[in-house]
């Protein structure tokens, strides 16, 4: 079924947002919370819609942020105050891109996949020096980068990581996959505040999003980098203790129980493919789903806080 057909079907099959977590984050005005942005490619636009709707309604004040892969891109764009500009730019870029792969480029010495160049261009267009300064003045944002085990090279490591991810989803579908770490993948966290230029920030976000073949193999801090989501797709460890809102990018049948975390997930599968860079309407649909889910999620909390 095409994504557009799925979006039409989703209009009649939306289920209630699962917000039955554990002891929830205290619902009060001007709540200071940690925020975690999971990875998920284009699906992370759901997080942008959710946060831009929920934060002003509930007076949420982010303290520390952990953000993986495309979730890191969204977190940076959101907290730089550039989400509308970012969505407009990427919508235009994906609307102008005809295909997700250009095999003939191989004969001209150019990348077959346009994703890395489009991703980097979007970051640099949206996060300029002024926006980066706002990020430096804002909450601490930590971004995970995965390192491969010594017994694997970068290319084979990504192949093994894909097999591990598929296996773990089949047998233990959890927001916090652990098997990759058990076989030697490790995670390193880098701070957005250590990025001195927009180019350095783009390098970090792309390193945390390194997903061959959509991106080339990338380096970070002089070493091969892989998508941060391999070792830590939902980087709660980056933010430490304290009330935490965890923004996922796909629905799970069961959410973890934790006394200080509120897990929030989409009310339905986000209607855009992670690496489809030809679907601007899907980006809008993901963002608007996030806004609708946030409005539903916030309503009883606003009533409790004001009633």
How many Å apart are CA 53 and CA 291, to the nearest integer? Answer: 6
How many Å apart are CA 89 and CA 126, to the nearest integer? Answer: 8
Percent of the chain with pLDDT over 90: 76
pLDDT tens digit string along 195-221?
999 999 999 999 999 999 999 999 999
**Which segment of 75-79, 171-175, 214-218, 288-292 scores lowest on mean pLDDT?**
171-175
Looking at residues 234-241, what average pLDDT do you find?
95
Q: Which two tokens stand for residue 231?
A: 């070792």
Residue of 112, 100, 92, 38 lying closest to 69 (CA atoms): 38
Which pLDDT score is estimated for 174?
Answer: 85
Dihedrals phi, psi of 67, to nearest 5 degrees: -145, 130
pLDDT tens digit string along 21-30?
333 444 444 6
Other Cβ atoms within 10 Å of 276 Cβ, number: 16
Report which DSSP code applies to 59.
T
How many Å apart are CA 164 and CA 288, to the nearest integer? Answer: 32
Specify the pTM.
0.89
Residue 307 class from Cβ within 10 Å (0-12 exposed, 13-18 middle, 19+ buried)? exposed
Instruction: Tokens 């591990």: give the residue.
Output: 164
Looking at residues 81-102, what average pLDDT do you find?
97
pLDDT tens digit string along 265-284?
999 999 999 999 999 999 99
Which pLDDT score is estimated for 154?
Answer: 77
How many Å apart are CA 112 and CA 62, to the nearest integer? Answer: 39
- Decide: 81 and 131 in contact? Cβ < 8 Å: yes
Residue of 286, 181, 167 lying closest to 229 (CA atoms): 181
Does residue 9 register a pLDDT over 90? no
How many Å apart are CA 192 and CA 122, to the nearest integer? Answer: 17
How many Å apart are CA 11 and CA 62, to the nearest integer? Answer: 32
Which pLDDT score is estimated for 23?
Answer: 38
Which pLDDT score is estimated for 13?
Answer: 29
CA dihedral sign, ordered 170, 172, 178, 182: negative
Residue of 17, 92, 2, 12 lying closest to 49 (CA atoms): 17
Does residue 250 register a pLDDT over 80? yes
How many Å apart are CA 273 and CA 287, to the nearest integer? Answer: 13
How many Å apart are CA 268 and CA 277, to the nearest integer? Answer: 21
Which pLDDT score is estimated for 177?
Answer: 82
Longest dimension (CA), the chain: 66
How many Å apart are CA 49 and CA 288, to the nearest integer? Answer: 6
- Decide: 53 and 82 in contact? Cβ < 8 Å: no
How many Å apart are CA 40 and CA 54, to the nearest integer? Answer: 20
Dihedrals phi, psi of 146, to nearest 5 degrees: -90, 140
């Amino acid at each position: 079924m095409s994504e557009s057909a799925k979006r039409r079907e989703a209009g009649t099959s939306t289920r209630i947002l699962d917000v039955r977590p554990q002891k929830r984050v205290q619902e009060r005005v001007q709540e200071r919370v940690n925020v975690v942005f999971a990875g998920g490619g284009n699906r992370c636009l759901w997080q942008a819609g959710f946060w831009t709707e929920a934060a002003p309604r509930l007076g949420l004040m982010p303290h520390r942020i952990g953000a993986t892969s495309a979730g890191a891109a969204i977190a940076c764009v959101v907290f730089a105050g550039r989400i509308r500009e970012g969505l407009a730019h990427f919508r235009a870029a994906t609307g102008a891109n005809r295909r997700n792969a250009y095999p003939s480029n191989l004969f001209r010495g150019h990348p077959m996949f346009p994703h890395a160049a489009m991703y980097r261009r979007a970051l640099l267009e949206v996060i300029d020096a002024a926006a980066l300064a706002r990020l430096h003045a804002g909450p601490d944002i930590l971004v995970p980068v995965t390192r491969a085990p010594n017994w694997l090279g970068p290319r084979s490591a990504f192949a093994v990581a894909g097999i591990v991810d598929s296996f773990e989803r089949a047998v233990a579908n959890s927001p916090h996959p652990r098997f990759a770490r058990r076989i030697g993948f490790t995670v390193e966290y880098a701070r957005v505040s250590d990025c001195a230029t927009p180019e350095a920030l783009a390098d970090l976000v792309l390193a945390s999003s390194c997903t061959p073949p959509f991106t080339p193999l990338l380096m970070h801090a002089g070493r091969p980098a892989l998508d941060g989501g391999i070792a830590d797709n939902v980087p709660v460890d980056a933010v430490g203790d304290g009330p935490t809102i965890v923004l996922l990018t796909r629905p799970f049948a069961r959410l973890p129980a934790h006394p200080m975390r509120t897990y929030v997930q989409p009310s339905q599968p986000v209607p855009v493919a992670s690496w489809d860079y030809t679907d601007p309407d899907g980006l809008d649909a993901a963002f608007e789903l996030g806004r609708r889910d946030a409005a539903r999620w916030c309503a009883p909390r606003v009533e409790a806080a004001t009633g």
